[in-house]
Structure 1
Amino acid sequence: MAQSVKLADDIMALVRREADLQSRSVAGQIAHWL
């Protein structure tokens, strides 16, 4: 089940950058890290 969470802008910028570098979605990148 999907959940919404609030993350700080600086964390989201890091996630977006890494997701782009790894050709993943933002959700996919967070799931990969977890």
Structure 2
Amino acid sequence: MTGNIAIDSITSRIFFTFQYLSNKTIHDSRRNCQPQ
């Protein structure tokens, strides 16, 4: 069962990284679209 825990930790890490990158991309695109 330790293997499943390791897989879950890696999956959650990848998921959080993907979520962070997607949020950062959306934030950057919004910031670039706004006139300054």
TM-score bracket for the superposition, by shorter chain length: 0.3 to 0.5
Bigger share in helix: 2
> Between Structure 1 and Structure 2, whose CA radius of gyration is higher?
2
Instruction: Give the alignment's TM-score, normalised by structure 1.
Output: 0.46
Higher relative contact order (CA 8 A, sep 6+): 1
TM-score (norm 2): 0.44
